[in-house]
Amino acid sequence: MAPESRLHNPLLHPILFTFQLLQWLVSKILAPTPPDPQAVLARPRIAVIGAGITGVTSAAHCIGHGFDVVIFEAGGEDQVGGIWSKVNSTSGLQIHSMMYRFHPSVVWEEGYPDKQQIVSQVRQLWKRYGLDGRTKFNAKVTKVFQDDRGRWIVNDATNGRFDGVISAIGTCGDPKVPDMPGMDKFKGEIHHSSDLTGKKAKGKTIIVIGGGASAVEALEFATQEGAEKIYILARSEKWIIPRNPVWNALLALNIFGQETKLSWIPETLLRKLFYRDLQDLAPADKGIFTDTPMVNSEVMAQIRSGKAEWLRCDIERFDEQGVLVNRRDKGVESGGPGHQELIEGDMVVMATGYKRPELSFLPDSCFEEPYAPPNWYLQTFPPSHPSLSCINCTYQSAIGTVGNWHIGIYTRIFLMFLIDPLTRPSPFWMRRWIDMTRFLKSSSPVGPFEFFTYLELVWWFVFCIAFNPFRWKWALFVFFGLGFVLPNRVVGAEEMIRNELRVGHPDGGRDLGQSV
Ligand SMILES: Cc1cc2nc3c(=O)[nH]c(=O)nc-3n(C[C@H](O)[C@H](O)[C@H](O)COP(=O)(O)OP(=O)(O)OC[C@H]3O[C@@H](n4cnc5c(N)ncnc54)[C@H](O)[C@@H]3O)c2cc1C
Ligand SMILES: NC(=O)c1ccc[n+]([C@@H]2O[C@H](COP(=O)([O-])OP(=O)(O)OC[C@H]3O[C@@H](n4cnc5c(N)ncnc54)[C@H](OP(=O)(O)O)[C@@H]3O)[C@@H](O)[C@H]2O)c1
């Protein structure tokens, strides 16, 4: 059990207690043992960029399997936890924490942990694996390049040379606040949705601009604080799905990872069983498997009670009293005809999202069309660089969460490529895999890598391992983090043979893919 986790009483909370017990078992079986602080760690040496859940977790896996790692974080030490360290104290997981087990040693106390618990779990993980002594803060990465022996240099050579780089810079950078006409005239307060801690909403009318997950969170904040009325001004349509792990898991098990002829089934069920009298809010012609849905049940209750109103509209301008909008009917696209309406309020919350952090520090070869991100091998490896992995940062939409066990799987695929030359894919085959995925998802209304579900991810991993006999010995390790000794011994023996025969690259050429 993670040291700071509180164990529930099995008589008072049997379900939560069982959930904790299962997590404890998973941790015992699957979490790699943290290294001895005095241990000399082996090569490959890995640079991890970013100290959010993805960076800390992948670094914990690397070091847990005995490899040296350095984390580069643009912010200060208070930034461990990434975006979660910056959001409102009222923020929390919308999706169930069963689907947010970013490391096997994480132990959640409840189904829907809040920001404080999430940051605490990341920080515990960071300390447990001795990563506190291996993190460089205020170290924004601006350049990643190779020396003449193919080893990676991060920013400059004083940081040393690395055999591989994991980029974990996330998708939510600085808050995005679009400049809208008349904002300066508005007499009330204007805040970004990530800056609501301590703001007073009691008795006020709150206008939320945006129709994404942050808008729903702002609605929850406003109702908790006792706001009088909340308007959500949504420009585009998004599906809302119930906060229910069974629903969420079932939707995440679409192996095709795209809209199919059968998608009407979950869409109709959602309309009939969840939206019910509010079916007008369900998107008219946008499939559920095309964009990340919002996970929330509270929003429906607030709309039914009359406390909240969800308006499909474009923003025209602000005025002193509120926001002038063009309200549209269902099915009319943004910019289409409607009627003007002034929405009056005391506070505007800009739930308009975040700027996407730039991957432009990577070499130009990572951005060659038609294989620019997210169109990469397993969506993560730029073709031609098997020693570079960008975990979770090319993510666009999905049903599932960013913070689940796939972080470990991706990290171990990356370790397999670094350690074992016979598994390292050649650029030719990385590109063919991308072409094949494009073909298989050619009927998807969105790009092949712009939407995925968990089962599709599993299919990708199976494909990566099962189709190459040299990778079979790694299967258990890649999927579960177990059984590292056997493939590692085989690689050692192969290396001795290669040395005797004097074939192969002197450094192992860890960025040189050869395999199918
Ligand atoms: C309010 C809110 C609620 C959310 N709720 C959920 C949820 O319920 N479920 C879900 O799946 N997702 C949710 N998300 C999405 C969230 O982004 C992911 O869950 C997850 O936290 C992403 O982690 P990450 O480590 O990949 O990225 P981040 O947490 O963004 O961390 C990236 C880190 O990289 C650093 N960095 C960036 N660029 C550089 C650089 N050039 N050099 C060095 N360091 C750099 C940043 O400073 C940051 O610390 C939520 C997001 C927000 C904003
Ligand atoms: N607890 C949670 O699960 C949770 C909570 C918050 C955030 N998140 C995650 O964090 C990420 C960001 O979410 P987010 O809701 O902050 O951002 P988002 O998903 O990008 O949504 C931004 C919203 O603002 C609208 N918008 C942007 N500019 C606008 C403009 N000029 N005029 C009118 N509307 C405008 C967008 O409309 P268009 O769609 O038309 O552009 C969209 O509806 C997502 O990955 C989300 O899943 C999760």
Q: Whose CA is nearest to atom 25 of ligand 2?
A: 210
pTM: 0.95
122: pLDDT strictly greater than 80: yes
In the structure encoding, which two tokens stand for residue 32, read together?
A: 């790699």
Report the CATH fold assignment for 14-173+357-511: FAD/NAD(P)-binding domain (3.50.50)
463: pLDDT strictly greater than 90: no
**Is the Cβ atom of 141 under 6 angstroms away from ligand 1?**
yes
Angle at 454 between CA 449 and CA 458, to 5 degrees: 90
Q: Do the bridges between strand 135-136 and strand 205-209 make them parallel or antiparallel, or are there none, so unpaired?
A: unpaired
CA-closest candidate to residue 169, choices 21, 319, 390, 323: 390
CA of 49 to the centre of ligand 1 (A): 12
Q: How many CB atoms neighbour CB 489 within 10 A? A: 11
CA-closest candidate to residue 345, choices 182, 187, 177: 187
Same fold, 14-173+357-511 and 183-350: yes
Phi, psi (rounded to 5 degrees) for 451: -155, 135
CA of 275 to the centre of ligand 2 (A): 21
3-state SS of 176-226 is CCCCCCCHHHCCCEEEECCCCCCCCCCCCEEEEECCCHHHHHHHHHHHHCC
pLDDT tens for 400-431 read: 889 999 999 999 999 999 999 999 999 999 99
**Is the Cβ atom of 420 under 6 angstroms away from ligand 2?**
no
CA of 133 to the centre of ligand 1 (A): 22
How sure is the predictor about 510, in pLDDT bands with cuts at 50, 70 and 90? Answer: confident
396: pLDDT strictly greater than 80: yes
**Is the Cβ atom of 170 under 6 angstroms away from ligand 2?**
no
121: pLDDT strictly greater than 80: yes
Q: Which-ligand-closest: CA of 86?
A: 1
> For a pLDDT cut of 70, what percent of the chain falls above it?
98
**Is the Cβ atom of 511 under 6 angstroms away from ligand 2?**
no
How sure is the predictor about 6, in pLDDT bands with cuts at 50, 70 and 90? Answer: confident
Domains in the chain: boundaries: 14-173+357-511, 183-350
Report the CATH fold assignment for 183-350: FAD/NAD(P)-binding domain (3.50.50)
516: pLDDT strictly greater than 90: no
pLDDT tens for 128-163 read: 999 999 999 999 999 999 999 899 999 999 999 999
Rounded to whole angstroms, the Cα distance separating 305 from 290 reads 30
154: enclosing H helix or E strand = strand 152-154
CA of 350 to the centre of ligand 2 (A): 9
pLDDT tens for 197-238 read: 999 999 999 999 999 999 999 999 999 999 999 999 999 999
What is the separation of C-alpha 210 from the centre of its chain, rounded to a whole number of angstroms? 20
What is the distance between the terminal CA atoms of the chain, rounded to a whole angstrom? Answer: 41
**Mean predicted confidence (pLDDT) in 119-125:** 97
CA-closest candidate to residue 408, choices 166, 116, 110, 70: 166
357 CB-side CA count, 13 A: 25
**Is the Cβ atom of 401 under 6 angstroms away from ligand 1?**
yes
- Computed over its alpha carbons, how large is the radius of gyration of the chain? 24
**Counting atoms of ligand 1 from 1, which one is nearest the CA of 295?**
8
Q: Whose CA is nearest to atom 36 of ligand 2?
A: 210
**Counting atoms of ligand 2 from 1, which one is nearest the CA of 402?**
45
110 CB-side CA count, 13 A: 10
